[in-house]
Each structure stands twice: as structure tokens, then as C-alpha cells.
Chains A and B, each alone.
Chain A
Amino acid sequence: MTPFHPLSRSSGPPISSWGRNVTNLNKSPFVAGAGLVWRRQSVLWWVFLVNFILAGMGAATFMRQISPMLDQSLESQVFVRSFNPMALSTLLMETHGLSSAGMASACLILVFFFFMLFVEGGLLEVYRLDRGLTKGEFFEASGRFFWRFVRLLIMLLIVLIPVGILNNLATRSSHAMDERSPSPVPGIWVRLIGLLLVLLLMQAVRLWFDMAQVRAVAEDDRAIRRALARAFKITFGNFGSLYWMYLRISVVAWLMMAVLLWIWVRLVRPEWIGVSFLLTQLMLLSWLGTRLWQRASETVWYQRRMPAVVKESEQPTPVPAPVPAPEAQAPDFSI
């Protein structure tokens, strides 16, 4: 039996919990997912903020390391006027490498990774319910799913092993082609096609595990292997529509990144440091936003396609008396 949890389908009014996700059937999950990210943009901002703060701590270490060398040196203008990688290499050598800053940033990248693993349950719950959660609700949901998602992560890594092997095979095929052909072109094509296939395959695997997470949150399913097996059936039983949705968002992410990079490289003058900062942050925000868009769209898709499962799981729980809108309960901390 599916255990009860406070934020399960019964915890809020049906319209609120399924809210616009279910009722706005005119919109495709692709569009509805974007709308969901927009409505629940506090999730995006919070995650982005954490990403920024953690990376900022690494950058601060880096800044402390280079500041004594640069701040009162006229030579620092080589970085203001342009970006000379040779001068940067010299700087790194003179600062005796960047072991401490590099180590700090590497650790903080790991911290962010575990943070994301932790809050994944919370943010999926936000999208599932399509309403803001209080701090307590959010972290309660996050904590509840954390170990399940850790187990999913381990399984994901196992599943990715054959993908890695496939990538290795593509590389070897490319090298073999290079050995046979006097032209680099066939080898490059093999490598590019191999990379594309591996990328698409990794996206398919990620989609499968995304759906397992979405399902685990929707069903509060503790049996992760079962959740994964069911997610497999759901994902590959509806592969066309799901994958097309996922891929389109990825393409949007890549396009946005490419356009912003182009603007950064071509239009932003080297000395416009503030503009560079804003543009790079916009890139990261768009990258993160599109990833959340995928999660939101998957949630919407699941809710629309699996209503029977959802309803079934809701039935044992009596509908409680109406409660005030969650936004009104904890406006300060809603996520």
C-alpha cells in the first residue's frame, strides 16, 4: 500500500494539487512545463542562487590568490584589454598553480551536486503540486526522497557504463577509420556521429531516470527498482512523445547557450566586465532553467498520462477540510 505523506495528492485541494497541470489540457506538456517553471520560478531562483553562492566561494578563493599579483600591477591590463591565455598561464605559474582555488571549487561543485540530489524531491513536489511550498514542506519532501534518489543515482551510474563503453567503441572506430583513411574527414564523421548517438542515448537514459523520479514522487514509491522498471515501461512505451519533448527543450538550451556565447564573444568588448558577468550568469540561468523546464514538463506529462494511477493512490486518503492557500501560509519561504 502506498503510504501516506503530508504532501501526497490528498494534502491539498484536488484542483490545486493537479491544478493547471491537469486542467490546462489545451497546452502541450512542452508549453505547460514552461508555464510551470515560470509560475514556480522561485525554485529556479533558489537553485540558481545556491549554484552562484557555492561557485562564488570557489571564485573568492581564486580571487584571493590572484589579487596580490594583479591589483597593483600595470601588467594586469593585458586581461582588461583582451584575454591572453599565455599571460594567464604565466600568472598561474607565478601563483604556484591554483591548487587551493581549484580544490575549493572542485569541492563546491560536489557540494552543489549533492545539494541538487537532495532538493530534487522537493522541487518535483513543487511542480507536481503546482504551488509554493513552505520551507518545511519543501525540505520534508526533499529529505523523504533523498535516499531513494541516491539509489537511483547508483543505478543510473550502472546504466551509464554501457553508454561509456559505446562511447569508447565510437572513439575506437574513429581511430580505426583514421588509420585506414588518408583523410581525417571519415574519422571525424564517425566521431561526430558516435558522439551524437551517445548524447542522444544519454538523454534517453536521463529521461528514463527522470520519469522514475517523477513517478517516485507522484506515487511515493519506496521500491526504487520497481519504480525504475515502471518508469522504463512508461518512458519507452511513450518514447516518441516524451523524447521529442525532452529533446526540444535540450535544443532550446543549446541554442540559447550558443546565441549568448556568440553575443559574449562577438559583441561584448573585453573591458565590459560587468556585461560579461551578467551575460555569463544569463547563460547559466538559461541552462538551469531549461533543465527545470524538462523536469516540469515531465511532471505535467506524467500527471496527464497516468491519472488512473494517481487517482487510485489518492482514493484511500480522505479529503481533509479546505486549508488556506499555501502561498498565504508561508509567503517568505515558499519555494
Chain B
Amino acid sequence: MLQCAVKRFQDSRIHVSGRVRCVFGCRVVLLSLILAGAVVARAGGQTGTVADAQGQASHALSTRVVAYQIEARLDPVKKTIDATEILTYHNLTGRPLDTFPFHLYLNAFQPTSTFMREVRLYGTRGADPESVWDKKHYGAIEVKSFEVVGQGDFTKRLEFIQPDDHNPDDRTVFQVKLAKPVAPGADVVFKIVFHDQLPEVLERTGYKRNFFMVAQWFPKVGVWWHDAWNCHQFHALTEFFADFGAFDVKATVPENYLTGSTGDLVSTVPNRDHTKTVTWRAADIHDFAWTASPDYKLIEDAWTGSAGTVHIHLLLSPGHESSIRRYLEVIKGALDRFDRWYGPYPYDRITLVDPPQGASDAGGMEYPTLITCGTGWWVPEGARVPEMVTEHEFGHQYWYGMVATNEFEEAWMDEGINSYTEAKVMESLYGKDTSMLDLWGMSASDADILRLEYVTLPDTDPLSRFAWQFMNSNAYAAVSYGKTATLLLTLEGIIGEDTMRRAMHTYFMRYRFTHPTGADFIKTIEEVSGRDLDWYFQQAVHGTNVLDYEVLAIRSDPLDWFREPPSKPKKGVTLYRDTVLVHRKADFIMPVDIQIKFDNGDRTLEKWDGRDRWVRFSYDKKARVISAEIDPQHSVRLDKNFFSNSSTEEADRRATHKLSTYWLFATQYMAQLLAWLA
């Protein structure tokens, strides 16, 4: 998800906790092997929908733990949804289960919820701590009845729990204790009647006028993970985590509404009351979202990759026609790069939702096979915000959608890894230095923006911290998005771009349709690269170490300095003692290369392990040192200050003059504007 698609290009991300870092058990490994076979079969030429909601085993890409059948009716006037949900849960935990927790995400949008408490504490996307509560943002989900098939009505026995902060007013998670436990390998069926009050759009979901983005809208069961239920409350900075399964969803909406959803459209049946019932089906996904609006315009396209043809559906809002080509270009480019670099996109559809005016909080978000984008009436071609948002959310089809990490606990693994691949894809599509900005003489890459995000708050939190425990929303964004992407770009410099790509490919193919942890990711990188990178990950992932090197001094001293009268230096004749002093300013230890150039054209590349605080390189040469540069390839992108990474003997004041010229111009112009009042 992009936290603030246009303003700050941030998203939500994860990090590794000690608890989560433990290696996945045999269950996952076995499942991975089975699934890998299934996916290879799919990639080998199967077409059509991924699978139906009944879960045909031969087509299954994932271990389908859940099967949801939902029938919903949208009231576009009251902004409500009344629905029934039949959830079949397959107990694959290997133990009897008698307690089941469920998410009720929409209850976060209430003044006393934990979500709002945290918004007041440190803000979240689109809302700062000073935000005033507006009742139009009220959202709720009420369970009208809860039946366990074969065990009776449990409506009165539902209990709200607050596993994260014990806030008694938070109603985003409830649990039910069954009369009889569900045996290992058995199924349990829940019949739930619920009522949604949608908020005016915020935090990815809700309505705006007659636009509806219906997300996180149904009671969703938690995940049995690492021998316990994992069902966190909805926090200001967290996203989601759920089991794979199948979804069979029917929604009744006004007949003039155009709809889009996760999965595939099965049928549309008109009703007598000027409504229509739309049926969708999807499988091997872990969430379901849908959208409806009478103002959408449907743009269709297609792309063919290694797993067959992918139908592209763009639901465009009015006034955004100028972005059609850009949306389609970037989505096809991203499909192509991901297919070639990381692995096949196995679904036969991707739906792009372009939120209308005033609904940008619904933009920049990912759901399985459906993403929400973000653009404006007119965004200059060189400002690649629509492209970046679209690419980012598409990337989540891989890092979240298929490689379904726990977004509550390890934000860096979906948002950060996705930001890294975003930088790579954007660079491939739009140029190394211009992938984000190429406008009016200005240029910047996506990697530059991510690095800047990291540099603003480099040391507040380790990546491996639960998302809601970050210092604030800025720290969360800086670390989960910016720092992770930057450290992976730096890692690419250590192990090589090709190795990194192979490692990412292996990671994707190995862990798609599973719930890997940060440890799995690190293990894969080390395995593919054949290197022990613990020293790096300990600092970069688990630590808050800051990386900052500098060339402290360069000096060329004539060896005959003591002679009287002093001899006149002669190029190529005078013997100098050349010294270069390099300093590690901060606590991140990183081996670096130092390139030293001399005035006779000689160059030397020194290697320093960075363990000491400083190192001095010394040469006796008939040449003066003219420059020294740490990391001349600029591969150590984690270094927070590139400007101190080099030093030259002679000053080059062109940059200073150029920037001063701009400053001068701005000051003069401001002065003249103000003087208009005089």
C-alpha cells in the first residue's frame, strides 16, 4: 500500500521479530514443494481462472485453508452493506482447534479504537495527529448472527479481544470458543450475518459520493501460524495477514454501477428492483475486495507472459483520461519485468482501480489481482507518480499477494522488498537516473527518493519491529520502505545484480503461496549467493546502525620539504608522500573500496574492511594525489551522505555557483513579488 500516494510515496511495511524469525516448519517446506509443482503446471500452459471456489485440488496453487461464500447487498444511499458469509475453515494445524479469532477491520474507524488512538499519537496515511474526528469517517462492522454449523448459534458468545494493547474499547478482533473442538484435518463451517457501515473513504476503504471501495469488509478469520493464532488488532500503521483460500462472492448493486473485484467475474444477473447481482470467483488468494461506481469507464487490454494471457481491466474515473496510456504502459511493463525476473504471474486478470476525485485515500493499495492507483487531472509526463504507484501496487501481487508475509509483524518484507523491486522495474522502464522525475531540467530516480526517505530517519527503529511499534508513521515509512529498499540495493552491490535477481527469483518461486518470514528471505539470499551475510543483515535488518563514511583528508607532501630554499615542485619529478585519510563516522561497519587518483593518471583501488574507525593510505610517488573517493561505483547506497565520500585536491565550485545562482534568483524574485505591494 502506498501510505500517501502523491504526497510522500510511502507505504506500509513489515519487520522481523524474534518470534517470527524462527524458521518455518516442515509443514511449509512440504507445502512449498507441492505448490511449486502445481505452479509449474500452471505456468506450463493452463489457462482460464486459477480455480473455482470449490477448490479443485488439481488446479490449486496454494493450500486453501479457507473458503468464503459471501452474499452482499450494497445500499448506496445509506452506504451500508448487509451480507451473509459462509466460511469453511480446514483445520490443517495438526491439532484440535476450539477457539477462532476473527478480524473486524471496519471497527477501527471509531474514535476509541486502537487505530484512532495511534492516529492521535503519531498519524497515519492521510491523517496527522491533529486530525479532527469527523463522523463521516465512522465505520463499523456488526455481526448480527454467528452460527457454527452443527454446534448452534454463538452470537451471544462472541468476545472482543485486544491481544496487542488491551484497549477494551477496541473491537477489531473477536474470538469465539466452540463447544466442540475441530479435529485435525476436519472442516468447520461458520455462518455469519453481518452489517457494514462504510466510512467516507479513509485508510483504503469506504465511499465517496457514489464511488465504493469495499475492502476489509467481512469478518476474516485469523491465521494459525507458528503454533498460535495470529490475529492482530487493526493499527494505524499495519496492514493485513490471512490464509489462502477460495472466494465466491455475490454483490447486489444498482444496475447502472460498473463493478470490479478481486478474481474473475462469473455472472451478472439483473434484478427487478433496478439492481443487479454480480458474482465473482477467486482462489489461491487471501483477501477479497471489490469496487462499484456508476462513473467508471472500463478500459480493457491484455498482456501475454510465460503463464498465459493476463486480461487488464482499468476502471477509470472521470477526468483522468490523460493517464490511460500511462497506466497501461506501466502495468504491462511491470508484468513483463516481474515475469522475466522473478516468476510468472499466474492469475489471468489484473484490475486497476482509478479512484475518483476526493477518494485518493482509497488509492495506492493492493488486493489480490486488484490494485488501486493514483493520478490527477493532469500530471506532467515527466513526473511519474501514476506509474510509480501502479508499479508499486502491482509489485504487491508478488510481495504480499503470493509471497504472503505477515504485514503486521514484518512490514519490510512486503513494503520494503516491493519498494526495492519497484526501483528496479521503474529504472528498467524509465531510465536509471530519470525513473521518477524527468521534468523541466530536473531528474531523480525512484531509488533516490527511497534513499531520501531513509536518510530522513535512518536510526529510529530496526526493520525487525512490529509495524505498530515504530516510533511514528514517518519512522515506519523511512525504515520499512526507504531503508529496506536502500539496503537491498546496497546488498545488490555486495553480491552482484545477477545474483540478487536469481536470489529474488528463488525466493519467489520457493515461497509463493506461503507465509515466509524474514529469516526465510535472508536464508535464501545467503543460499543463492553462497555467502555468509549475517554481518550485513545483523546491522541492516536487526540493528539501527547508521552507515556514514567520509574522506577526511587528502594530502601530498614533498619528501624534501625540509630543504632550504624549498625546491620548486616539478610534475613527474618531485617525490611526494601522498596520504588519504578515510573515516567511518557512524556505527555501521561495511567493507568499502576507495579509489585514489594521482596527477600522473595513475589510479589505485584500495579495499578497507571498515572495522577500525579510520584508515590512512600512504604512497611515496612522483605524483600528487588529486582525488579520493569511497565507493566509486555508488553501490553502498546505505551511506547517508554521499557528499562526504570523496575529496579532491582542487576545488570545483561549479555546483556551488549553480545552486547559489538558483538561490539568488529565488530571493530576487521573491523580493520583487513582495515589492509589488510597495
B317 and A183 contacting across the interface, CB-CB below 8 Å? yes
**Residues of A contacting B646 in the complex (Cβ-Cβ under 8 angstroms):** 72-75
B659 and A182 contacting across the interface, CB-CB below 8 Å? no
Tell me if A239 counts as interface (CB < 8 A to partner B).
no
Q: Count residues on chain B whose CB falls below 8 Å from chain A CBs.
A: 66
Known contacts A85-B437, A187-B357, A273-B658, A72 near B671 by CB under 8 Å: no
**Residues of A contacting B672 in the complex (Cβ-Cβ under 8 angstroms):** 51, 112, 284, 287-288, 291
Known contacts A84-B444, A117-B678, A273 near B455 by CB under 8 Å: no
B660 and A54 contacting across the interface, CB-CB below 8 Å? no
A184 and B319 contacting across the interface, CB-CB below 8 Å? yes
Known contacts A182-B210, A182-B357, A183-B318, A287 near B656 by CB under 8 Å: no
Q: Which of B96-104, B142-150, B662-670 is the contact stretch? A: B662-670
Tell me if B211 counts as interface (CB < 8 A to partner A).
yes
Question: Bound state CA distance, A318 and B437, in angstroms?
Answer: 69
Tell me if A265 counts as interface (CB < 8 A to partner B).
yes
Q: Which of B376, B449, B653 contacts A184 (CB 8 A)?
A: B376
Q: Which of B167-175, B176-184, B637-645 is the contact stretch? A: B637-645
B659 and A66 contacting across the interface, CB-CB below 8 Å? yes
Known contacts A71-B651, A265-B440, A84 near B664 by CB under 8 Å: no
Question: Bound state CA distance, A288 and B676, in angstroms?
Answer: 10
Please, which residue of chain A has its CB at the minimum distance from the CB of B669?
A284
Please, which residue of chain B has its CB at the minimum distance from the CB of A288?
B672
Tell me if A256 counts as interface (CB < 8 A to partner B).
no
Question: Bound state CA distance, A62 and B594, in angstroms?
Answer: 31
B664 and A59 contacting across the interface, CB-CB below 8 Å? yes
Please, which residue of chain B has its CB at the minimum distance from the CB of A91?
B643
Please, which residue of chain B has its CB at the minimum distance from the CB of A149?
B678
A84 and B448 contacting across the interface, CB-CB below 8 Å? yes
Tell me if B227 counts as interface (CB < 8 A to partner A).
no
**B327-379 interface (Cβ within 8 A of A):** 356-358, 376-377
**Residues of A contacting B633 in the complex (Cβ-Cβ under 8 angstroms):** none
Q: Which of B437, B655, B661, B676 contacts A291 (CB 8 A)?
A: B676
Q: Which of A80, A120, A156, A283 contacts B655 (CB 8 A)?
A: A80
Question: Bound state CA distance, A96 and B591, in angstroms?
Answer: 28
For residue A223, give the distance in angstroms from its CB to the closest CB of chain B.
21
**Residues of B contacting A169 in the complex (Cβ-Cβ under 8 angstroms):** none
Tell me if A277 counts as interface (CB < 8 A to partner B).
yes
B648 and A58 contacting across the interface, CB-CB below 8 Å? no
**Residues of A contacting B441 in the complex (Cβ-Cβ under 8 angstroms):** 82-83, 264-265, 270
Binary A-proximity of B437-450 (CB < 8 A = 1, otherwise 0) = 10011111000110
A105 and B319 contacting across the interface, CB-CB below 8 Å? no
Question: Bound state CA distance, A182 and B210, in angstroms?
Answer: 8
Tell me if B3 counts as interface (CB < 8 A to partner A).
no
Tell me if A67 counts as interface (CB < 8 A to partner B).
yes
Question: Bound state CA distance, A333 and B642, in angstroms?
Answer: 51
**Residues of B contacting A287 in the complex (Cβ-Cβ under 8 angstroms):** 669, 672
Tell me if B603 counts as interface (CB < 8 A to partner A).
no
* Interface of B (DSSP majority class): mixed
B661 and A101 contacting across the interface, CB-CB below 8 Å? no
Q: Count residues on chain A whose CB falls below 8 Å from chain B CBs.
A: 76
Known contacts A83-B441, A113-B675, A184-B376, A55 near B356 by CB under 8 Å: no
Q: Which of B377, B449, B656, B676 contacts A66 (CB 8 A)?
A: B656
Q: Which of A85, A117, A180, A188 contacts B209 (CB 8 A)?
A: A180
Tell me if B677 counts as interface (CB < 8 A to partner A).
yes
B671 and A75 contacting across the interface, CB-CB below 8 Å? no
B647 and A59 contacting across the interface, CB-CB below 8 Å? no
Known contacts A51-B668, A184-B319, A187-B357, A80 near B674 by CB under 8 Å: no
Tell me if B12 counts as interface (CB < 8 A to partner A).
no
* Interface of A (DSSP majority class): helix
For residue B76, give the distance in angstroms from its CB to the closest CB of chain A.
13
Tell me if B273 counts as interface (CB < 8 A to partner A).
no
Question: Bound state CA distance, A75 and B34, in angstroms?
Answer: 51
Q: Which of A55, A74, A84 contacts B671 (CB 8 A)?
A: A55
**B311-334 interface (Cβ within 8 A of A):** 317-320
B358 and A109 contacting across the interface, CB-CB below 8 Å? no
Question: Bound state CA distance, A80 and B649, in angstroms?
Answer: 18
Known contacts A71-B652, A74-B627, A182 near B444 by CB under 8 Å: no
A54 and B655 contacting across the interface, CB-CB below 8 Å? no
Known contacts A74-B648, A184-B319, A277-B661, A105 near B667 by CB under 8 Å: yes
Tell me if B629 counts as interface (CB < 8 A to partner A).
yes
Tell me if A328 counts as interface (CB < 8 A to partner B).
no
Known contacts A94-B643, A182-B210, A182-B211, A86 near B319 by CB under 8 Å: no
Tell me if B293 counts as interface (CB < 8 A to partner A).
yes
Tell me if A312 counts as interface (CB < 8 A to partner B).
no
Please, which residue of chain A has its CB at the minimum distance from the CB of B295?
A182
A276 and B658 contacting across the interface, CB-CB below 8 Å? yes
B319 and A51 contacting across the interface, CB-CB below 8 Å? no
A109 and B671 contacting across the interface, CB-CB below 8 Å? yes
For residue B254, give the distance in angstroms from its CB to the closest CB of chain A.
15
Please, which residue of chain B has its CB at the minimum distance from the CB of A69?
B643
Tell me if A89 counts as interface (CB < 8 A to partner B).
yes
B442, B451, B671: most-surrounded residue (chain A CB, <10 A): B671
Tell me if B433 counts as interface (CB < 8 A to partner A).
yes
Tell me if A327 counts as interface (CB < 8 A to partner B).
no
Tell me if A108 counts as interface (CB < 8 A to partner B).
yes
Question: Bound state CA distance, A84 and B659, in angstroms?
Answer: 11
Known contacts A62-B660, A183-B357, A273 near B654 by CB under 8 Å: yes
Known contacts A179-B358, A184-B319, A72 near B648 by CB under 8 Å: yes
Tell me if B494 counts as interface (CB < 8 A to partner A).
no
Known contacts A182-B357, A276-B658, A90 near B641 by CB under 8 Å: yes
Tell me if A195 counts as interface (CB < 8 A to partner B).
no
Q: Which of B377, B452, B661, B665 contacts A89 (CB 8 A)?
A: B452
Tell me if B456 counts as interface (CB < 8 A to partner A).
yes
**Residues of A contacting B356 in the complex (Cβ-Cβ under 8 angstroms):** 182-183
**Residues of B contacting A280 in the complex (Cβ-Cβ under 8 angstroms):** 661-662, 664-665
Question: Bound state CA distance, A78 and B664, in angstroms?
Answer: 20
**A69-123 interface (Cβ within 8 A of B):** 69-80, 82-91, 93-94, 101, 105, 108-110, 112-114, 116-117, 120
B629 and A271 contacting across the interface, CB-CB below 8 Å? no
A84 and B358 contacting across the interface, CB-CB below 8 Å? no
Tell me if B78 counts as interface (CB < 8 A to partner A).
no
B358, B642, B667: most-surrounded residue (chain A CB, <10 A): B667
Q: Which of A58, A62, A74, A113 contacts B674 (CB 8 A)?
A: A113
A87 and B448 contacting across the interface, CB-CB below 8 Å? yes
Tell me if A185 counts as interface (CB < 8 A to partner B).
yes
For residue B321, give the distance in angstroms from its CB to the closest CB of chain A.
10
Tell me if B657 counts as interface (CB < 8 A to partner A).
yes
**A271-301 interface (Cβ within 8 A of B):** 271, 273, 276-277, 280-281, 283-284, 287-288, 291
Question: Bound state CA distance, A21 and B295, in angstroms?
Answer: 62
Known contacts A90-B641, A178-B358, A182-B317, A74 near B629 by CB under 8 Å: yes
B→A interface (CB under 8 Å) = 208-211, 293, 295, 317-320, 356-358, 376-377, 433, 437, 440-444, 448-449, 451-452, 455-456, 627, 629, 641-665, 667-672, 674-678
Given A84-B433, A93-B455, A273-B654, 11 extra CB contacts under 8 A: A52-B664, A55-B667, A58-B667, A76-B656, A79-B654, A109-B670, A116-B675, A116-B678, A180-B209, A184-B319, A184-B320
A-B contact pairs, 28 of them (CB 8 A): A56-B664, A58-B664, A63-B660, A69-B644, A71-B651, A71-B653, A72-B647, A73-B644, A73-B645, A76-B643, A76-B656, A82-B441, A82-B443, A84-B444, A85-B444, A93-B455, A93-B456, A105-B667, A109-B667, A113-B671, A149-B678, A157-B677, A183-B318, A188-B377, A273-B657, A276-B658, A284-B665, A291-B672
Q: Give me the 7 closest cross-chain CB pairs, A-B, nearest first.
A: A183-B318, A183-B319, A76-B655, A55-B667, A86-B448, A59-B664, A79-B655
